[in-house]
Amino acid sequence: MAGVGLTPNDGRWTAAQTRAQFAAIAQLRWRITVNAFRRKGGAGEMIARIITYPLFAGFAFGPTILVGIGAYYFALNGHLDHISWLLWGTFVLCQLLNINLGQPGTTFDPTQLIRFPLSLSNYVAVRLFFGLLTPANVIGSLMALAVAVGATVALPALWFYSLLSLAIFAAANALFSRMVFAWVDRWLSTRRAREIFTGLIFFFSLGFQYLNFTFNPAYNHHHQANAVSAARLNAGINFYHHALPFLAALPPGLTSSSLVAAHRGQPLAALGFMLGCAAFAAAFFAVFALRMRTEFRGEDLSDQANAVSRKAKSPAKSIAAAPASSAAQPEIRFLGLSSVTTAVLGKELLYVRRNTGIFYSLVAPVVMVFLFAGRLATHSNATWLFPAAMAYTLLGVAPLAYNSFGLEAEGSQFYFMAPVRLRDVFFAKNLVNFLLAFVEIAAVFIIITMIARMPSLLNAASGLLWAATTLLFSTTLGNRRSITAPKKITVAKMGSGKQASPLSALISMGLLMGSAGIGAGLLFLGIFFGMPWLPLPIFAVLAGVAVFVYVRSLDSIDRFALAHRDELFEELCKK
Q: For 426-442, how does the pLDDT look when each residue is reduced to its tens digit (9 = 90+)?
A: 999 999 999 999 988 99
Q: Does residue 323 sit in helix, strand or coil?
A: coil
Confidence at residue 426, expressed as pLDDT on a 0 to 100 scale: 93
Question: What is the sign, positive or negative, of the torsion defined by CA atoms of 518, 521, 526, 532?
Answer: positive
Assign 497 a pLDDT band (cuts: 50, 70, 90). Answer: very low
- Cα–Cα distance, 338 to 330 (Å, whole number): 11
69-83, 120-134, 225-239, range with greatest mean pLDDT: 69-83
DSSP 453-510: -PPPHHHHHHHHHHHHHHHHHHHHHHHHHHHHS-----TTSTT---SS-HHHHHHHHH
- Range of lowest pLDDT (277-281, 353-357, 447-451): 353-357
Q: Quote the pTM value.
A: 0.67
Summary mean pLDDT of the chain: 79
Question: What is the sign, positive or negative, of the torsion defined by CA atoms of 411, 413, 416, 418?
Answer: negative
pLDDT at residue 267 tops 80:
yes
pLDDT in tens, 31-77: 777 776 666 666 666 777 777 777 777 777 888 999 999 999 999 99
Q: Do 35 and 52 form a contact (C-beta atoms < 8 A)?
A: no
Q: Does residue 334 sit in helix, strand or coil?
A: strand
- Cα–Cα distance, 500 to 491 (Å, whole number): 14
DSSP conformational letter for 250: S
Q: Does residue 337 sit in helix, strand or coil?
A: strand
134-138, 163-167, 361-365, range with greatest mean pLDDT: 163-167
pLDDT at residue 526 tops 80:
yes
pLDDT in tens, 353-366: 777 667 767 777 77
Within 8 A by CB and 6+ apart from 208, the residues are none
DSSP conformational letter for 409: G
Confidence at residue 431, expressed as pLDDT on a 0 to 100 scale: 93
Q: Do 118 and 5 form a contact (C-beta atoms < 8 A)?
A: no
Q: Do 252 and 88 form a contact (C-beta atoms < 8 A)?
A: yes
- Cα–Cα distance, 19 to 25 (Å, whole number): 10
Residue type, 436: L
Assign 313 a pLDDT band (cuts: 50, 70, 90). Answer: very low
Share of the chain above pLDDT 90, in %: 26
Could you tell me where the DSSP H helices lie in 317-456? 339-354, 356-376, 382-397, 413-417, 422-451
pLDDT at residue 413 tops 70:
yes
Q: Do 470 and 398 form a contact (C-beta atoms < 8 A)?
A: yes
Number of DSSP helices (H) and strands (E) in the chain, helices first? 21, 0
Helices 356-376, 339-354: axis angle to 10 degrees equals: 70
Q: Does residue 106 sit in helix, strand or coil?
A: coil
Residue type, 115: R
Angle value at C-alpha 113, between 285 and 495, nearest 5 degrees? 60
DSSP 246-272: HHHTSHHHHHHHHHHHHHTT-HHHHHH
Mean of the pLDDT values across residues 526-540?
88
- Cα–Cα distance, 286 to 60 (Å, whole number): 29
- Cα–Cα distance, 197 to 186 (Å, whole number): 12
- Cα–Cα distance, 396 to 379 (Å, whole number): 28
Within 8 A by CB and 6+ apart from 210, the residues are 371
Phi-psi region of 223 (alpha: psi -120 to 50; beta: other; left: phi over 0): left
